[in-house]
Amino acid sequence: MTESDADGWFAGVSPDDVDAGAQAIREGSADAPTDWPVEAVESGFAEDESDYYAKLRAASIQATREAVTERERADDQQLVHAVRAMDDCESEANELAERVAEWAGTLYPDAGTGVEYATKLADIDPETPVENRVISLARRVAALADERDELRTFVEQQAPAVAPNLSNLAGPVLAARLIALAGGLDSLAKMPGGTVQVLGAENALFAHLRGHASSPKHGIIYTHEYVRSTAHDQRGSAARTLSGKLVIAARIDHYSGEHNSELKEELDRRMATIRSRGADE
C-alpha cells in the first residue's frame, strides 16, 4: 500500500472484515479528501468502484449501529427512559383509576375516585365474579402506582449522578424531564436559554407561530418553585432567568461534570431580586 493509501479508512482492514471497517470509520480521519475508490482498488481492498462503495456502505451501517447502541446505553439515555416510564405509569394509573371509579360506583355506595381510592379498593376481598374483576383492575392501578413511585426514586437517585448541577438547580425529576424533552444531555447543553424556557410548551408555541395564541412564557419549567410561586407579572423574568441558569448547568454537566455551587447561589440571588420587584409593585 502506498503512503497516500495510509489515510484511507480501509488501510490495514481486511476486505471481508465489516467490524474492523466500522471501527476504522468511527475512529479514523484524513487531512484532505482524495479519490478513495481508486486507491481502494489499487491497494487490493476492492475489486472495482462498485465493490468499494458496497464495502463502504456495509461498514458505515455497522458503524452507525454501534454508535446508536452506545448512545442508547449512555447514562443520560437511561435516565430519559426512566422518567418517561414514570410518567407513563402515572398516566396509565390515572386513566385506569377513572375506569375503576366508574365501575365501582355501580357496586359500592361509598365508591371514591382517583388512584388513592383504587389502591384502597385493591385490599378488599371480592365476593362476586363482578367484584373480582373490579378489584383485579384496582390492583393493576395500585401496581402501576407502586412502579411509578419506584421509578421516581430511581430518577431522584440517578439524576444527580448524570447531571449534578442541573439537578441541583431544577431538582432531579425536572432535570430528568428537561433532558428527556431535549433528547439527551448533550442536546440540552447546546440549546439556547429561550428554547429551554419553552420546552414542553410546543403546542402553545406552534399555536403562537400560527397567530392563534400569545407567545408562551414558559414550558415545563413552570413546575419549578421559582416560576410557579413568582408573581404573575414577574413570571416571564423568572422563567428567563431560570432557563438561562439551567442551560449553563447543563453545559457544565456535559462538558466537565464538575459541581459548581456558585450557580445555585447566583440563581437564588437573581430570583430574590425579581421577586422583590414584584412585591414592591
Which structural domain, as residue segments, surrounds residue 261? 163-281
How are the residues of the chain apportioned to helix, strand and coil, as percentages rounded to the nearest 5? 75, 0, 25
Q: What is the pLDDT of residue 71?
A: 56
Q: What is the pLDDT of residue 2?
A: 37
* Domain boundary, last residue among 117, 139, 161: 161
Q: Does residue 1 contact residue 43 with C-beta atoms inside 8 Å?
A: yes
**Residues 169 and 281 placed together within one structural domain of the fold:** yes
Q: Position of cell 476492492?
A: 46
Rounded to 10 degrees, the C-alpha dihedral 151/182/193/206 comes to -110
**Residues 82 and 113 placed together within one structural domain of the fold:** yes
Residues near 103 by beta carbon (within 8 Å), at least 6 away in sequence = 134, 137
SS3 278: helix
Among 45, 11, 43, 16, residue whose Cα is nearest residue 29: 11
Rounded CA-CA distance 261/252 in Å is 12
Q: What is the pLDDT of residue 204?
A: 58
Separation of CA 72 from chain center = 11
Q: Which parts of the chain register pLDDT below 70?
A: 1-7, 66-74, 201-217, 278-281
Number of domains the chain is built from = 3
Q: What is the pLDDT of residue 101?
A: 96
**Residues 183 and 262 placed together within one structural domain of the fold:** yes
Q: Position of cell 471497517?
A: 21
